[in-house]
Amino acid sequence: MNHKTQRMMANMAAPRRILVMLALLCCFHSSATTSEKAPEKASEKVPEKDQSVTYDARSLIIHGKRELLISGSIHYTRSTPEFTSEERYDVVKFIKLVHKKGMYVTLRVGPFIQAEWNHGGLPYWLREIPDIIFRSDNEPFKKEMQKFVTMVINRMKEEKLFASQGGPIILSQIENEYNHVQLAYRHKGDSYVQWAANMAVALNTGVPWIMCKQKDAPDPVINACNGRHCADTFTGPNKPYKPFLWTENWTAQYRSFGDPPSQRAAEDIAFSVARFFAKDGSLVNYYMYHGGSNFNRTSSAFSTTRYYDEAPLDIFGLQREPKYSHLRDVHKAIKMCKKPLLNGQRNTQKLDEFHEISVYEKPGSGICAAFLTNNHTKDYAKITFRGQTYDVPPHSTTILPDCKTLVMNTQYVTAQHNSRNFKKSKLANNFKWDMYSEPIPTTKEIPAKRKFPLELYELLKDTTDYGWYTTSIELSPEDLPLKKGTQPVLRVMSLGHAVVVFVNGVYVGSQHGTKENKACEVSAPANFVVGINQISILGSLMGLPDSGAYMEHRYAGPKSITILSLNTGTLDLTLNGWGHKVAINGEDHKIYNEKGLKNVNWKPVNGPGPALTWYKTKFATPEGDGPVAIRMAGMGKGLIWVNGENIGRYWMTFLTPLGKPSQSEYHIPRSFFNKDKENLLVIFEEEAKGPQQVEILNVDRDTICSFISEVHPPPIDSWAIKNMKLQVVGEQPRTKASLVCPDNKKIAAVDFASYGDPAGSCGDYQLGSCNAPIAKQIAEQECLGKPSCELSVDKSLYFKGNDPCPKVVKTLAVQVSCA
């Protein structure tokens, strides 16, 4: 395990026991927990070594103790690049690693998982079973599903991984968000839900089963919520004795190629978490906590190679601030409320349409916690509770662990911010590129054996993205236009996902679909000649579908091929007779690894190559031990290999509405590099582009910032629960800015400091109209050369009693660089 992964696991494990959820071969989750001994009946006593996992209306009960669980999804196939490629899919190994780190696991078996994973996790060969209908009361599908689920559960039992056996698995999930498609299958959908639940429960795991987004989950299966604001959108458990569980709190939004950046504010997520626990919630899971990368061809149709880069841990495993630490702070606040939440009775006072107070209290015990909520999106509120008035910002919750002390408001971020940096490696960019152009086949190499073009999914069977279609047509002089300025047009209409078209070996055109509309069309002039003309079409996929009903009936590939503007009219070639070939020549010869390189003739690069060109170079391992990325500047669309490892699909020419690629930098795990020799980089480029601008980059988040106003509360660590009471830790709580460098680095420079009304975000702050000139000097005195520092937000320190802008609420913005 490399140090980045060790640190990531350590960060997730602190400060107490952790929950990790898994969607098999795809999803994992992590979390801090708090626990209370479950109430006992007068005639019962909890066994000393109770290994059971049960539940009631309030919470899960694990080993005889109630649990509040906060968790985060981590897909081990996307997130453990330090494993070798063979070990990356070893679920047992990963669960044991999680257990070793002191975490719980929820095994989300599926087998359908969606998760923007290729085919939703279902293998392609299922499509070819006669009469199969996925995810329905269909005997062929149920047979394969039961076989798979039983195999997985038995494997877990053999390894003693269920909590009932002393292992970490405390929950299992069957199916995934089936309510979305259930109506499409009518009564077969209803009976399938019953069958799936009964089949799972009969496997006797000793832990509860859950179904997410499944209102009619049969007993004893727990129905759980997925979404952004489950406190307000979840109708609740379908039985009064089941707990409120939130299995997916979306930390951003997955992205498809062509999508602009997707963000979700840390403040909004923190608000949703606090509000859920304020309304009887007992488990919140972040989807995703760390997204990672879709290495190889594992992403679903049109999904980007990076996955949930905007999660609290970015695709490189680095903490995205303030999201990571602001959520950590709300977890601490919830933990301070654990006694009342698990033992008190809830009383909710609805003040009006937008404002409410939720109180958890055990009469006569002194145990009390309150949540003051302002659900208005624009207006501040003054909420009076037990004789004290609290200012509550819009769209926020104020947390009072003792029903009087404000330890946190979800809208006020006291945690530090950071900005990600991509720096060109000094060692790794001395490239000397060679190229090999993919041969364009004809009917001589791929003779026509079928009347019409085969469907592309069926042709490729998920073994490659690429498949060739060839046909030929003989044209006479009478067929070709005689008038100058006219030329025959070849039209290729495809169901998706992309096509590259050649006539007589000459590039004619290319086109692609989108996530929403996968079909595409090429209509372009072509150089047809008298005699035999060869038409070659490279069809390609951007992954298999991962959602919706009747996935087994999705189709792709060319559906209509015609020649327009002939003297003799339109010529339809769809039934002309077609040849087919799976994969391109470079894939056949594995020229992306050291051994396969020798199978073709390479030549030095001299400018951009034609469409369908392979490029190779050697490069040194980048300096340092931090994350590494490759920036595909100047390239079009294709695949990348490093030392034979496919790091995923890239696409630079499919621009967002903002005029930029959806993804420019692609993660290269350090475990893919050679230790004692140069590395091999191979790129397959579909368009007429060259690699001259490609760069290897070191990645860090060494730019850290703080943005704190004078009305912010003190940091959450100013208080702690001791002897069942909320107490001040150290000095009297005060508002302050805190900066901590990552990886034991020190503050090397203060890039920006302003006290007044600065604007912007970390990495791009600007001075406002009110500013204390002494702010940067104070920051340099307190911070330079130190691994961390604290800065006061006291007005008197910056203005010395002469405030030039007294009506402005003062904010301290500081940006520093660590090294």
Which amino acids are annotated catalytic?
177, 248
Within 10 Å of residue 267's Cβ, how many Cβ atoms?
Answer: 20
- Closest residue by Cα to residue 109 from 140, 52, 151: 151
Classify residue 504 as left (phi > 0), alpha (psi -120 to 50) or beta: left
Can you say how many angstroms the Cα of residue 434 is from the centroid of all Cα atoms in its chain?
A: 35
Amino acid symbol at 810: K
Report the distance separating Cα 720 and Cα 19, nearest Å. 23
Tokens 């499409």 locate to 184
Q: How far is CA 779 from CA 118, 775, 809, 817, in A?
A: 50, 6, 20, 12
Render 314-330 in DSSP notation, one character per residue.
Answer: -TTS-B-TTHHHHHHHH
CA distances from 154 to 99, 161, 332, 408, 442 (A): 18, 10, 37, 45, 51
Measured between alpha carbons, how far is 354 from 350 in angstroms, rounded to an integer?
A: 8
| Residue (of 726, 738, 727) closest to 793 by Cα position | 738
The helix/strand/coil state of 731 is coil
Q: For 627, what's the count of Cα atoms within 13 Å in the CB-facing half-sphere?
A: 28
The answer to whether the beta carbons of residues 343 and 35 sit under 8 Å apart is no
Structure tokens at 145: 């599903």
Q: Are 24 and 109 in contact (CB under 8 A)?
A: yes
Contact criterion met (CB below 8 Å) for 610 and 484: no
Backbone angles phi and psi of 577, in degrees to 5: 100, 125
How far is CA 330 from its chain centroid? Answer: 21
- Rounded to 5 degrees, what are φ and ψ at 388? -120, 140
Largest CA distance in the chain: 101
The two structure tokens encoding residue 819? 């090294």
**Is there a contact between 278 and 338 (Cβ–Cβ < 8 Å)?**
no
Distance of CA 613 to the CA centre of its chain: 31
Name 470's bridge partners.
536, 579
CA distances for 230 relative to 161, 233, 295, angstroms? 30, 5, 32
Using DSSP's 3-state secondary structure scheme, residue 674 falls into coil
Return the DSSP state at 466.
Answer: E
Q: Is 482 exposed, middle or buried (0-12, 13-18, 19+ CB in 10 A)?
A: exposed
Examine residue 439 and say whether the peptide bond preceding it is cis (omega within 30 degrees of 0): no
Q: Output the CA–CA distances (angstroms, integers) from residue 317 to 292, 577, 626, in the order listed.
A: 8, 51, 10
Burial class for 788, CB neighbours closer than 10 Å (0-12, 13-18, 19+): middle
Least Cα distance to 682 among 618, 635, 628, 634 occurs for: 618
- Residue 740, both tokens: 């901590």
268 and 326 in contact (C-beta within 8 Å)? no
User: Would you tell me how many other CB atoms lie within 10 Å of the CB of residue 212?
Assistant: 25
Burial class (CB in 10 A: 0-12, 13-18, 19+), 723: exposed
Place of tokens 């899971």: 285
Contact (CB, 8 A) for 256 and 303: yes
